[in-house]
Amino acid sequence: MQGNDMLRIFATAAASLMAVSAIAHPVDRVAFGPRPFYLIDRMAEGPLKD
């Protein structure tokens, strides 16, 4: 029983640290999937594309 509790605590701590690190770092660029990038690449230049 005590081993399972330690595993739960460790898993919760690890998940919390991963979530905090994902929130704490600003994103420099956004990756689009191949289909959306294809559509965005073909858009006319303008404020919507920027």
How many angstroms separate the CA atoms of 36 and 45, rounded? 16
- The confidence score (pLDDT) of residue 15 equals 83
Which residues of the chain are modeled with pLDDT < 50? none
Residue 21's pLDDT is: 62
pTM given for the model: 0.39
Q: What is the pLDDT of residue 10?
A: 87
Where in the chain are the domains?
A: 2-41
For residues 2 and 4, give the distance between their C-alpha atoms in angstroms, rounded to a whole number: 5
- Dihedral (CA of 19, 23, 39, 33) sign: negative
Query: 31: helix, coil or strand?
Result: coil
